[in-house]
């Protein structure tokens, strides 16, 4: 097993967690998905969706701190249609960018729990 596949199968804990957000533009809105929680948000801008995903993920972690039985919530998988998007959308947009038919309107964000908490502290 190579190093990348080991990291991909690593389980999140309250001490060491990492969350991947996929944000893409749909027809009239931006949609974001957290791969580890299955949490989905939408908004008018990619920034708005990113903030909502970050804040929602922090709320989930805070709930787990109060009730440790919820720990599996940070190791969930999104529904299949969203899991598929984590692979399909970056590929599709890359392909379209290669032939210059579409501007880059996609973000794939990886944040640790401490980064999420620092971002939230700056907003307050």
Instruction: Flag whether pLDDT at 86 surpasses 90.
Output: no
Question: pTM (2 decimals)?
Answer: 0.65
CA distances from 36 to 2, 51, 60, 69, 83 (A): 21, 16, 11, 16, 10
Residue predicted with more confidence, 108 or 50:
50
Residues 16-63 pLDDT 10s:
889 989 898 888 999 999 989 988 999 999 999 999 999 999 999 999
Residues contacting 45, CB < 8 A, separation 6+: 30
């Amino acid at each position: 097993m190579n190093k990348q596949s080991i990291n991909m199968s690593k389980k999140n804990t309250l001490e060491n967690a990492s969350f991947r957000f996929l944000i893409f533009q749909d027809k009239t809105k931006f949609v974001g998905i957290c791969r580890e929680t299955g949490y989905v948000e939408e908004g008018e801008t990619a920034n708005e969706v990113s903030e909502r995903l970050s804040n929602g993920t922090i709320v989930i972690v805070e709930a787990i701190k109060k009730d440790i039985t919820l720990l599996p919530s940070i190791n969930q998988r999104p529904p299949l249609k969203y899991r598929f998007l984590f692979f399909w959308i970056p590929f599709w947009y890359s392909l379209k960018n290669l032939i210059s038919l579409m501007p880059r309107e996609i973000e794939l964000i990886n944040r640790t729990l401490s980064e999420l908490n620092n971002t939230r502290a700056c907003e307050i």
